[in-house]
Amino acid sequence: MSVRILIVDDHPLVLEGLKSLLADAEGVRVVGTATNAIEAIAFLKNNEVDIAFLDINLPDISGIDLCKKVKDQFPEVKTLALSTFNERAYVSRMIQNGASGYLIKSSGKEDILEAIAQVQAGGYFMNVQFDQVTPTAAPKTVPFLTRREKEVLVLIAEGLTNPQIAEQLFISVTTVNSHRQNLLIKFEVSNTASLIKLAAGLGLI
């Protein structure tokens, strides 16, 4: 069965561009579009959607707030942020609000299809590089972590490599990489050493 996609963006060119890009993609079907949060919520109430692409800069509420509403009201719907913003603060807030991935709008078809595949399979996808984002102060509160993220964090702290973690948790190395990147974003650090130090300071390991 095709992955059902909802695209939420207030720019007609982006909507049409994404629809066109995904039109001939195997196993993917754009079932609807929305130009604001109200339209998006209304569509989700009446239609089945697997993944919602959410623009961060919407006219009524931000995509960050919409992401939280979607996860609260439609927990079965996975969300992917689609934005021109690549600052760490935006990425971190979207992930904290439940997004399963973050795509820059200039992403190519290959990245977008890979993101859809990984997110639909329960993983994460991000094509934001840490050397592109603006560093911010480390969080003073404990970030929300999924059960799997906590497991990966503990194994990272024990010194296991990504292949070793993948073998122990029965997941792919790609999924481990995604969890590791997600942890770096949530803790707002740029390397594993800083991640372990901060997690230990917060009493998580």
Q: Domain coordinates of the chain in residue numbers? A: 3-128, 147-201
Distance CA 92, CA 102 (A): 10
Closest CA to 83 of 121, 123, 147, 133: 133
Rounded distance, CA 114 to CA 70, Å?
Answer: 22
Predicted pLDDT of residue 39: 97
- How much is the pLDDT for 87? 62
Say how far apart CA 162 and CA 175 lie, in whole Å: 9
Q: What is the pLDDT of residues 93-149, one digit of tens each?
A: 888 888 988 888 888 898 899 999 988 988 878 876 544 444 444 444 677 788 888
Please give the pLDDT value at position 198.
84
In the chain, which residues have pLDDT < 50?
Answer: 130-140
Architecture in CATH for domain 3-128: 3-Layer(aba) Sandwich (3.40)
pLDDT reported for residue 136: 44
The per-residue pLDDT for 10 is 92
The encoded tokens of residue 47 equal: 């239609």
List 53's β-bridge partners, or say none: 7, 80
So what's the pLDDT on residue 130? 47
Q: What is the pLDDT of residue 37?
A: 95
pTM above threshold 0.85: no
**Residue 73 CA: distances (Å) to CA of 12, 98, 154:** 26, 12, 31
Q: What is the 3-state secondary structure (H, E, C) of 58-123?
A: CCCCCHHHHHHHHHHHCCCCEEEEEECCCCHHHHHHHHHCCCCEEEECCCCHHHHHHHHHHHHCCC
- C-alpha 114: how far from chain center: 13
Res 43: pLDDT: 98
CATH architecture for the domain at 147-201: Orthogonal Bundle (1.10)
